[in-house]
Structure 1
């Protein structure tokens, strides 16, 4: 493996030695022990917040009609490279099924049992609201559930209500009601922390975040971090406040992105030992390469190629 536990311990020590800096926006590192990987395993409330963040990134609430029947499914899909995160979620929830699509190499975790949706999934997402426009999809999903479970409706009535329901779509300016407590505006880190928990942000980053190495010139490579979304600018604004970086809006998407060394160092501190899936591997390699090889183009290029090879299914061994 590219990292061993012994090597990682040394990296963490080096990181703490190097990263003795204050965040420009007083980054909130409180309760960081509770948001470590162990916390996700042992504390259900932290796990639920993490799950909502991951769902905001990669989850779906689907309503389907086939052979005259309606079905509901809570679904999270990942490439087989990161299948272990789905098994972790299944083990924590204790319900659902996992299947692999051989052609696409995608792995899907689904919960279709309406009784389980009512008993387990709805309470999680009612207590810990989605922060993106997927909140709209969740409300549709629950409304569909209520229609299908209503014994006073005929099949024809249910079909009509369901067809009308699936046509509903959110506006491009839709904002999750979770942000109403700060009047749908994020002006500073305190506003962001009132809505967005660290557990949520870790889950969302595992789904949507990118820790990467990028060429700045022919012989210069730097570390970068980015999260991009087509919608939900308010979500990225909150992330930007928490991590102390900027939000940029393009024609078709919004992004929080940085290659600034000080920002990268604070991001390393924030996410240290927090993630569960393969993103944790990528983060550890990325953070370690910053501490040990910042400015070394040849070494950083070698590390980037190894990460790419790993994603393509090549097993890598190194003592570096």
Structure 2
């Protein structure tokens, strides 16, 4: 077990008021220490997700996640174990890890429960062949995609319509559906067509007339995943997809199941990281920013049209 005197400082992105990117500040804070059953991670990269800025945008949203001021920012991280508390088993100093720590990942150090959840922190071993920037993008989007696809239970006989296929979760959902053998039709803007093809989807432009455009592509749509709202749900129903094979992640529709990354199987992220290491799943990085440019990073990510993941180097 490695000990520190606790007098040194660390850096962390904090909010002293809820709001947009302008509410984010980088501050010196007391360096956190790993207690019993905990590990400390020296964070090298933090991947951003829509939930990061949505849940800190106002007091009502923050309360839903149990956040109070002052609070940290960001959830996905990757780094190296640099301190281990008593009875924290399964890790050694220097282990490369990635995981999630709710609204406190964009910091020089995060303390994680060795056997925790998203609130107390989760750490998975980073496989050889996966760099830290990529590892920092996996937890939230990867587990959400895995949970949604578990609902749909896709196979080689399926054609799945994925709405918002080019977003952060779509990066994983499209590729995991293809790995399962399914045909994927992905909605996006006209300018995203080449990007969706790169992911493995057959692109179709969203908006009015989507039902007819999907029908013109031929074949029977057997499942649907709405990664944005409810438009894809309604289109899927018009195409004859039963509610039992439709899933959402960002909206509640009566009769349709909603997937949450917390519901993903414990092996889901290890499987995804293994696919990345094997070169079978690619994670496009749309932009990287130093931590001092956190506001610019969040502005890019929250624009909703970013193709791939945004990463903050810590």
Q: TM-score range by the shorter chain?
A: under 0.3
Query: Normalization by structure 1: what TM-score?
Result: 0.27
Structure with bigger RCO (C-alpha 8 Å, 6+ apart): 1
